A and B are shown apart, each in its own frame.
Chain A
Amino acid sequence: MTFVIVGASAGLGRALAEKFASEGHDLIVISSELKDLNAIKGDLQNRFNVKIFPIEMMFQEHTLDFKEFDETIRLAGKISGVLLPIGHSDPTDNPYVNESKIYNIFNVNLVNVCIFINHCLEILKDTKLTITGFGSISAIRGRSRNSTYAAAKRGLESYFESLRHAEAESEITIQFYLLGYLKTNLTFGEQTVGPKPVEVDKLATEVFDNISKDFGVRFYPRVWIPLMMAFRFMPWGFFRRIKF
């Protein structure tokens, strides 16, 4: 079986690539960093004897070029899943951020993810498939930091809900993980609040173990559920005073 992983060069994407390859699956790995993808290709092919197809795609740009992807899909064999652990945030992101940053953040986190999924649904018609998206707890309630990112991730969650509804009668499984802090470069050196960042390898194993399950939306780690509920329904009088 072959899986497509978008955003595979580092962080959760790289951990997913390692987990799925270690279980014997071929992969199409996509990111804007071809050098890193080639290093991943060498490593996973050498260690797990699987086929890895690296593709460079620029999700921050206005249009996606699918030529190489379509050619690779033909070579790669049956596709069983598309995982999209892609994301981009900006430390200067707030409600007044400039236009180019807004486009960048929306393109990577929402617009091109939707376009990519639609393209996959079109070329992989009648295929039994799982599509896995990844949101963020930052989308639970908008605040002054990461505002564009949170808006894009909330939009993505809504898009996945719609997708699940639209594909309810088909053989396509739609999953969406709402992620707490992960131990990646995004949290390295950052002051995070709440539960400590978790290892991406653990999440990768959880995703692999549940790849065919139709659970809809899931928090990871689950310890965030009560915290997020409290945060979501916190009275405005308190919420406005919180600075993080």
Chain B
Amino acid sequence: MNSNRYLKKTKFVSFDRTFSAFANHQRPDRLRMLNDRNEEFQIPRGAGLSYAPASFGKDKLIRDMCSFDRILEFDESSKIVVVEAGISLKKLLTWSFSKQLFLSVLPGQPEITVGGCVAANVHGKNPYKDGTFMEHVEWIELSHPTLGTKIISRSNEKKIFNATCGGLGLTGIITKVALKLQKLSSEIVILSPKKTESLKNTLEIMKQHTSDDLLYSWNMGSTLFNFGKGIVTSGIFSDDSSSKTPQIKERKGMNSNDRLLPFSLWNTLSSPIINSINRKIQSGKNIVKKDVYSALFPYVGATRMFYGLYGSNGFNEYQVLIKKKYSVEFIDDLTKLIKSEKPSLTILIMKLFNGKQKLLHFSDEGLSIILNLKHCNSTLKFLKKLDDILISYKALPYIVKDSRLTKEVVEQCYPEYHVFKEILNEIDPKRIFKSELSERLNL
């Protein structure tokens, strides 16, 4: 067989648009193709929506898993569904909604694949209540040239299972995932937006709603005016239990290959104006009834506009998870830094977490804050200073969201960084699974 057949040289761009590289793109459509070329440095790729370049790297073999998107088995009594890793959440939900079932841990975009959700161990709209994605995974089929194809779970190959969840695709190719679904109690979610006056005030309000089905906030980031003011959204499934199948809405999501303006429309003036108007509109409603799909993916229609406004230079997203006992102190330090540096910060998003930290899992008991910034030199300087604060608090940076994170920061913030590395070396001494992200972090 011709060695370059079914391959093309593709320019991959990270979702935050701050990194790009050419790599050998393969789109296997038969299962046997996953066993071809298994001596090459490679990385599996799902929807390619991670902010940082986790699913590609210069001259690597990129195995695009989009053809493996099938629902293989379903057991009605246990509500366990076995799917191929390339299935998107949207396709899975289209099917599961018809059975009045859903997944409670859903990241921001419905095009994200299940394999991607496992590899990044994503979280949903209330990680305090639902935990992270791996808590809903029963088992995984992993294919690796050294290990062969094996089923890994909490009871079988626990170490590899834990390293694969949140393992950034570095333990091998996730081919199948068994997921435990939840009963969908209603097709309607009742959302209550609440106005908040500061970051600390936001935290206080959120603490009162930890048992709600959805809980997150957004706060204004510009220091020009209204800094820290925002909206906390909490939501619960309606009591009105109908057997109507919820609708999946067709909305085009953001793609890193979309053509954008060569400059950012988000700046220190536009950001507080737009966000203040948005806050006024949202806070005008006491209760909002939304269909479940729109409630679970609240920003799907807006992401195209929101990220698109950053222009072709892209943006930086910084997500940190700070231990509960340091939350208030950290907010003070963060506020101080923002006010002194005045970065081009558009918004901050807050979520509460409740979990146990292991390996590279973005999980702990505490507060998560996301910062969305225009990509520019002043942002990079600001984030460098924020890294130092992060290290001093032993807080966790979310690895798949930050394209400029260094090995030194990750090593100091994740206590089991070296344990994770040892597991990788044990599984595969040749370390054939590599991406730009893994090389940057020396994993």
Contacts and interface: CB of A to CB of B under 8 A. Distances in A.
B74 interface: yes
Contact of B8 (A9, A14, A184, A188): A188
Contact of B84 (A39, A91, A92): A39
Contacts of B58: none
A46 B70 CA distance: 9
B32 interface: yes
A39 B95 CA distance: 16
Interface in B19-66: 25, 27-32
B306 to A, nearest CB: 29
Contact of A11 (B4, B29, B74, B95): B29
A119 interface: no
Contacts of B32: 33, 35
Interface in B54-103: 67-68, 70-74, 82, 84, 95
Contacts of A36: 30-31
B30 A92 contact: no
B7 A39 contact: no
A189 interface: yes
Contact of B2 (A14, A92, A185): A92
Interface string B366-379: 00000000000000
A185 B84 contact: no
A188 B31 contact: no
Contact of B27 (A33, A92, A185): A185
A9 B30 contact: yes
A110 interface: no
A10 B84 contact: no
Contacts of B9: 189
B70 A43 contact: yes
Interface string A85-109: 0000001100000000000000000
Given A189-B4, A189-B6, A47 B71 contact: yes
A91 B2 contact: yes
Scoring A11, A35, A188 by chain B CB atoms within 10 A of each residue's CB, the highest score goes to A188
A40 interface: yes
B50 to A, nearest CB: 23
A238 to B, nearest CB: 29
A42 B6 contact: no
B70 A42 contact: yes
B24 to A, nearest CB: 9
B95 A188 contact: no
A196 to B, nearest CB: 14
A42 B2 contact: no
Contacts of B72: 39, 42-43, 46
Interface residues of A, number: 19
Given A10-B67, A46-B74, A189-B25, A39 B5 contact: no
Nearest to B10: A189
A33 B30 contact: yes
B173 to A, nearest CB: 15
Contact of B29 (A46, A92, A185): A185
B118 to A, nearest CB: 18
Contacts of A185: 6, 27-29
Nearest to B31: A35
Contacts of A14: 29
B425 to A, nearest CB: 31
Given A91-B2, A185-B6, A46 B30 contact: no
Scoring B4, B29, B70, B71 by chain A CB atoms within 10 A of each residue's CB, the highest score goes to B70
Contact of A46 (B7, B8, B25, B95): B95
Contacts of A33: 30-32
A173 to B, nearest CB: 30
Contacts of A47: 71, 95
Interface string B248-284: 0000000000000000000000000000000000000
A180 B73 CA distance: 36
Contacts of B29: 10-11, 14, 184-185
A42 B83 CA distance: 10
A46 B27 contact: no
A188 B5 CA distance: 8
A33 B35 CA distance: 14
A185 B2 CA distance: 14
A58 B409 CA distance: 55
A214 B84 CA distance: 39
Given A9-B30, A185-B29, A43 B71 contact: yes
Scoring B6, B68, B82 by chain A CB atoms within 10 A of each residue's CB, the highest score goes to B6
Contacts of B2: 91-92
Nearest to A92: B2
A43 B67 CA distance: 13
A184 B29 CA distance: 9
Contacts of A43: 70-72
Nearest to B29: A10
Interface string A158-202: 000000000000000000000000001100110000000000000
Given A42-B71, A91-B5, A188 B27 contact: yes
Nearest to A38: B72
A46 to B, nearest CB: 5
Scoring B30, B68, B71 by chain A CB atoms within 10 A of each residue's CB, the highest score goes to B30
Interface string A28-50: 00000101100110110011000
Q: What are the 5 A-B residue pairs with the smallest beta carbon separation, nearest first?
A: A189-B8, A43-B70, A42-B72, A91-B2, A10-B29
14 contacts: A10-B29, A10-B67, A11-B29, A33-B30, A35-B32, A39-B70, A43-B72, A91-B1, A91-B5, A189-B4, A189-B5, A189-B6, A189-B8, A189-B9
Given A185-B27, A189-B5, A189-B25, 12 more contacts: A33-B30, A39-B84, A42-B71, A43-B70, A46-B74, A184-B29, A185-B28, A189-B4, A189-B6, A189-B7, A189-B8, A189-B9
